[in-house]
Amino acid sequence: MILLMTHRRQPGARLSTTRVRAVALKEVRDYRRNKFIASTMAVMPILFMVAPVITIFNLPASIPAGRLDAGIGISLLYLTLIPALVPAVISSYSVVGEREQGTLEPVLTTPVRAEELLLGKALAAFVPTLAISYAMYGIFLGLAAAIAHPNVTTNVFQAGRILAQLLFTPLLAGWSIWAGIAVSTRTSDVRVAQQLSSLVSLPPLAVTALMGFGILRPTVGLAVAFGAALLAIDVLAWKLVSALFDRERLITGSKA
Amino acid sequence: MNLTADPATAAPSRTAPALVVEGLTKRFGTRTAFENVSFSVNHGEVFGFLGPNGAGKTTTVRTLGTLIAPTSGHATVAGLPLIPQNGVEIRRRIAIMPEAPGLYLRLSVAENLSYFAGLYELTDGPARIERALRAVNLLDRADELCRSLSKGLRQRVGLARALLSDPTVLFLDEPTSGLDPVAAGTVHDLIDALRNRGVTIFLTTHRLAEAERLCDRVAIMNTTLRLVGTPDELREQLFSKRLEIRTREPLADPERVLAGLAGVESWHRADDGAYVLAVADPGLVAPDAARALVAAGADVLSLSPSQYSLEDVYLRLIDTDVEAQNR
């Protein structure tokens, strides 16, 4: 009899929160002590804050509405680069990094399922990214209120813009994380994974760019619609990446 | 060393063999990692898996550990058929210590074990961690970062990690690879302690003396399984028994004295001057040999049965394979 072991999740199999938590905790501990990742996560958001702050500070009071929208849109686009690019650093390292340092095989010998392992890794990238992104946005709003002209501040504080930013931040981070993990499971070199992850995390930014340049109006309804679409894509991406997670290929480099 | 866990809690069923492998084959494209391998391992047995580099030992361990899929054949691991549906449950019942321990070097020893306790969903994680660290004599290093540990200590952490879940079957892949004799001795003592506790151990190793000392039975593998049995059985299958004779002076006519003895299949003179007789039963030949030597005027210093080492068995098998390939 030929046995074909695909190691897919069994229908109805329970997702263990204990294992997901264990993976997430370990990842956070490990990243905190990884100087490259810690410094990238600290420096990159600050760099992406500089341009938006300078932009809104330089927007004159008498600027036409169209140019004001574009200026603020570009500033917010910079801010959405934080949830798009920061988690890519972590998630692209998550699987291929473990493979390179030889820690993946012992983990795969435990009862952990692919979904649990990947969800734990995703959470470990998601939570700090969300905290950093919201913190940066909060600082941006604070600076806008403090230093920008009142008409600029009014535009920055539009409900549609705020909702879009709050909604897109976690969803863009989710996309970036799953894209990064997907790349990380299919490549065999950390640097290649990081470069590819940065690239594949960018497409959803097109939506925020369209809003920023006034091609799409950032209404509440539009933000919710795109948010729902991104959420659905994030969930599908989790399932897809889990299905593509091939223990045999990761251990031996050959397909099952 | 203190291994206090109740072995009964680790074993789902101790009546059936811990491992049964029937006609298992694994191919990567056109390359055959191992082919038509069959053996079984009893509960509480230390089973040695020997073979040269590339013989398929590690691939066999990975296959039985559900990390890679066999191309064909059957296996039962820790009482469960090796099928995709049983992957998680099999991995819950076994533990594999790879050749490289694969520790998170930026985490402490305890943090490494805590992670794996979580992956096994152990409700008494801290107690298990303490017990595992005590078993490998590392309790006092629990808070040290793994990057600061020597290779031998890292290997012991890897072993502690494998013990966390009280596995029914423990796969140890080259556990003493690269260790100095003292560190290797510590690992040997641990394996002895686990055997006494009733844990089934599947040990792949290059160290033949290690296998001879630790293993109840050994299998010699070179893509296909060449031999399985106790070290004594393997010796008997491949070699005649030996009687070793030492005399003060070389015999004047050894052919006349030795070849004429009943029960002697052949003889040769070893490099150290001893006469080595291949015999069916050393106990029957020895008295006749002593009488013949005395009659020939020889001063006999010693006359004793000697046995081939597992290394001799291994080398003969592998040499045979190499000769067959070169033909």
Look at B82 and A110 and tell me if their CB atoms are within 8 Å. Answer: no
Which domains occur in chain B, in start order? 19-230 (3.40.50.300), 240-307 (3.30.70.980)
Specify the pairing of strand B94-97 against strand B169-173: parallel
Closest chain A residue by Cα to residue B172:
A106
Q: What is the mean pLDDT of residues B259-276?
A: 87
Q: What is the mean pLDDT of residues A120-144?
A: 93
Inform me whether the pLDDT recorded for B35 exceeds 50.
yes
| Minimal CA separation from B227 to chain A, in Å | 24
- At residue B9, does pLDDT exceed 60? no
Question: B224-233 long-range contacts, Cβ below 8 Å, gap at least 24?
Answer: B224/B34, B224/B35, B224/B36, B224/B37, B225/B36, B225/B37, B225/B38, B225/B39, B226/B317, B226/B321, B227/B313, B227/B317, B228/B39, B231/B310, B231/B313
Sheet holding B19-28, edge to edge: B31-41, B19-28, B72-77, B80-81
In the predicted model, what is the mean pLDDT of residues A94-110?
Answer: 92
Contact A146, A161 (CB under 8 A): no
Highest-pLDDT range among A248-252, B70-74, B233-237:
B70-74
Answer yes or no: is pLDDT of B5 > 60.
Answer: no
pLDDT at A8: 45
**pLDDT (0 to 100) of residue B2:** 43
**What's the rounded Cα separation, in Å, for the pair B141 and B137?**
9
How confident is the prediction for chain B on average, in pLDDT?
Answer: 87
Chain A closest-CA separation from residue B100 CA (Å): 7
Q: Per-residue pLDDT for A208 more than 60?
A: yes
Binned at pLDDT 50, 70 and 90, residue B301 comes out as very high
pLDDT confidence of A65, banded at 50, 70, 90? confident
A–B interface: beta-carbon pairs under 8 A: 123
Q: What is the pLDDT of residue A14?
A: 81
Residue B296 reports pLDDT greater than 60: yes
Average pLDDT for A148-155 = 85
Higher pLDDT, B314 or A146: A146
CB contact under 8 A, A3 and B65: no
Q: Which residue has the higher pLDDT, A50 or B109?
A: B109
Q: Tell me, what's the pLDDT at B12? A: 55
Residue A254: pLDDT band with limits 50, 70, 90? low
- Contact criterion met (CB < 8 Å) for A111 and B119: yes
Please check the confidence at residue A212 and state whether its pLDDT lies above 90.
no
**Shortest Cα–Cα distance, B108 to chain A (Å):** 10
Q: How far apart are the first and last CA of chain B?
A: 51
pLDDT for residue B87 is more than 90: yes
pLDDT of residue A10: 52
Confidence of residue B11 (pLDDT cuts 50, 70, 90): very low
pLDDT of B327: 64
Residues A179-194 pLDDT 10s: 999 999 888 888 888 7
Q: List CB contacts (< 8 A) between A21 and chain B.
A: 118
Flag if A5 and B66 touch (Cβ within 8 Å).
yes
A172 or A26, greater pLDDT: A26
pLDDT score at B197: 85
Strand order of the β-sheet with B169-173 is B94-97, B169-173, B200-205, B46-50, B217-222, B224-229
